[in-house]
Every structure is written in structure tokens, then in C-alpha cells.
Amino acid sequence: MDSFTPQAKHVGFIALIGRPSTGKSTFINRVVGHNLAIVAALPQSTRQRVRGILNTTDAQLIFTDTPGIHSSEKRFNRHLLNQAKLGMEEADVILYLVDVTRKIAEEEMAIATLLKSVSQPVVIALNKTDKAKNFTVDYMLFFNKLFPNKEIFKISAKENMGIHPLLHHLTSLLPVGPMLYPEDIYTDQEPSLRIAEILRKHAILSLKEEIPHALYVKIEDLQMKGARLWVRVALVVERESQKPILIGKGASNLRKIRIASLKELSTVFPYKIDLDIQIKVDKDWRSNEHRLSQILTP
């Protein structure tokens, strides 16, 4: 990272939390203006804390997109919950994003109870309000009872509605201090993680049902060769029977993943990228605590 002269602004970390598929990834991509986090119909597609940086004239807002909070005793879900809690612990402000197209559930009460015990300011934003006006009223009553006198924001991350007032309020809650990143930086993700997440996104989009949850991406080698970045990467599944599904007839699905990934990577990196993609099996990795920690911890 190039050196830069820090300037005093409102600067700080904002953790996005909420149930799976509340639109956290869509929100962070909208605010930052780049596709950092995976947006897919698949719940819990975000597995690690993803940071996106928004620079304005008077602030530097560093958003952390955390995995969706889901009540479950499975090792995989417990690990995702831990990632979300770590994101909250390092934050100056917590942004609780709620999907108002779904009815209020026990998970909402559990998250609200968790937030009552934190020391940081908590901001509540009702997302997808362009789609569900009836549920929006229910959520307003729900949160007004739990958090009296707290301003509740109504937004649509997908339609870019209500975002500016929310950002203005978040900025006012951040401490004033020197900038932590240069103004032209919009993420602090390592190149290997960016590449892995882009490949995982396009693999997820090409598949159905359970296999996306059983998939992870491992960057095995990454080298600059002249003006090109050469990457050897493994798409890893849990079962031998899942390999042909991922590959597709005549390697058609694997080719689809590769083409889509290279197209997006060309918009992220200033140099050409060569992808050597292999398919491997890591049996039952989601049920192995040690493997989960190795694979999913950033």
C-alpha cells in the first residue's frame, strides 16, 4: 500500500449484522460501488468478514460484512456466528440490517437481545421496504418497543432508496481521527481472497441445492509471470459424487465458471490473470472443527 498523509475525518468501523439473506452483501456493494461480497439467493453465502471502504468528503466508513446470524448447533453455523461476533467486537458502530419481506422470527429477538448488551451505538435499518409495507409496520412496532426513541431507517439497498440519510447518521456516530486507508482504496482484502471469493461466487451461481454449501475455494499458488498473474486454484467439495456436477457434461459448467470469473477479475485487477482450476475433495470438512477454522478464518 502506498504511503499517504492522514487527514482528520469521521473514521471508523461499521459491522453489518442480521439474519441470513437480509441484503447485507447487496448493501455493502451498493455503498462501496464495487462487488466485494457475494450476492446470491443461497443463504449464508458470506462466510468471512469482508471489508468495504467508503470515502466521502468528511468521512471514511469501513464496513464489515459479516455472515448471517442463524440459530443452529451445527459446527459450520457456529463458526459463522463466531465470525459475526468478531466483526461486532472490532466495530465502532453496529448496523443491524433487517429483511422486512420476512415475518418476525425468534432469530430477530435473539439478535436484538444480543445488541442490548453491546457498548457500541446500534443503528437499525429495515431493508427491502419497497417490497413489504405491511411487514414494515410490524417491524417498526417491534423495534420501537425494544429500542424506545431510537431512529429506525427504511431503505432498499437494491433500489438505492434511503441510503444517503442512513450514511449521514452513521458518519455522525464515528469518532474523528486520521484516515486509516488512502482515499482510492475500497477494500483491504488480499488479492488471493478477492480471487477466491469471485470464483466461489460464480461456482455458487452455476449450481443448485446443497452443493454450494459443500464448496470452498483454495488458492494453491499465485505468481506474477511477466505482466500476468498466474493462479492455480482448487474448487473443493465434500464428496466424489459432487465432482461431476461441478464439472458439468464435457466440462461445460467448469468452463462457465472460469469464463465468468475471468470476466469479473478483469474489472478488479490491472493485469491479465491465468486460471488453472482443479476440482478436489475434502471429505466432511464442514463437520470438522479444525478444518473449518483453517478454511473459513480470514
Is residue 221 marked as binding?
Answer: no
Q: What is the pLDDT along the chain (298 residues), one digit of tens a residue?
A: 444 455 668 999 999 888 877 888 889 888 888 766 544 444 444 444 567 889 998 999 999 877 655 454 455 445 455 555 666 778 899 999 999 998 888 888 888 888 888 889 999 999 999 887 667 888 899 899 888 888 999 999 999 999 999 999 999 999 999 888 888 777 777 788 888 888 988 888 888 665 667 788 888 998 888 888 899 999 988 889 889 988 999 999 999 999 999 998 888 787 888 999 999 998 877 776 555 555 555 5
Extended strands (E) in the chain? 8-17, 50-55, 59-65, 93-99, 122-127, 152-154, 176-178, 216-225, 228-237, 272-281
Is residue 116 marked as binding?
Answer: no
Structure confidence at residue 65 (pLDDT): 79
Rounded Cα gap, residues 214 and 44, in angstroms: 12
Structure confidence at residue 294 (pLDDT): 56
Q: Which helix (H) or strand (E) holds 44?
A: none
Structure confidence at residue 35 (pLDDT): 64
Is residue 128 marked as binding?
Answer: yes
Residues of the chain with CATH 3.40.50.300: 8-178
Is residue 21 marked as binding?
Answer: yes
Cβ density class 143-172: b for 16+ within 10 Å, e for less: beeebeeeebbbbbbbeeebbeebbebbbe
Instruction: State which fold the 8-178 domain adopts.
Output: Rossmann fold (3.40.50)
Is residue 19 marked as binding?
Answer: yes
Residue 29's identity, in one-letter code, is N
Structure confidence at residue 131 (pLDDT): 84
Structure confidence at residue 266 (pLDDT): 87
Structure confidence at residue 76 (pLDDT): 46
Structure confidence at residue 251 (pLDDT): 92
Tell me the three cell numbers of residue 158.
Answer: 437494491
Residues of the chain with CATH 3.30.300.20: 191-296
Is residue 25 marked as binding?
Answer: yes
Q: How far is CA 195 from CA 47, 141, 218, in A?
A: 15, 43, 10
This model's pTM is above 0.85: no
Residue 239's identity, in one-letter code, is R
Structure confidence at residue 14 (pLDDT): 93
Is residue 67 marked as binding?
Answer: yes
Is residue 129 marked as binding?
Answer: yes
Structure confidence at residue 68 (pLDDT): 54
Is residue 155 marked as binding?
Answer: no
Is residue 23 marked as binding?
Answer: yes
Structure confidence at residue 42 (pLDDT): 41
Residue 205's identity, in one-letter code, is L
Is residue 26 marked as binding?
Answer: no
Structure confidence at residue 201 (pLDDT): 85
**Helical packing angle, 289-296 and 75-89, nearest 10°:** 40
Is residue 206 marked as binding?
Answer: no
DSSP SS3 for 98: strand
Q: What is the CATH number of domain 191-296?
A: 3.30.300.20
DSSP string, 220-268: EEEEEETTEEEEEEEEEES-GGGHHHHH-GGGHHHHHHHHHHHHHHHHH
Is residue 284 marked as binding?
Answer: no
Structure confidence at residue 59 (pLDDT): 93
Rounded Cα gap, residues 144 and 109, in angstroms: 13
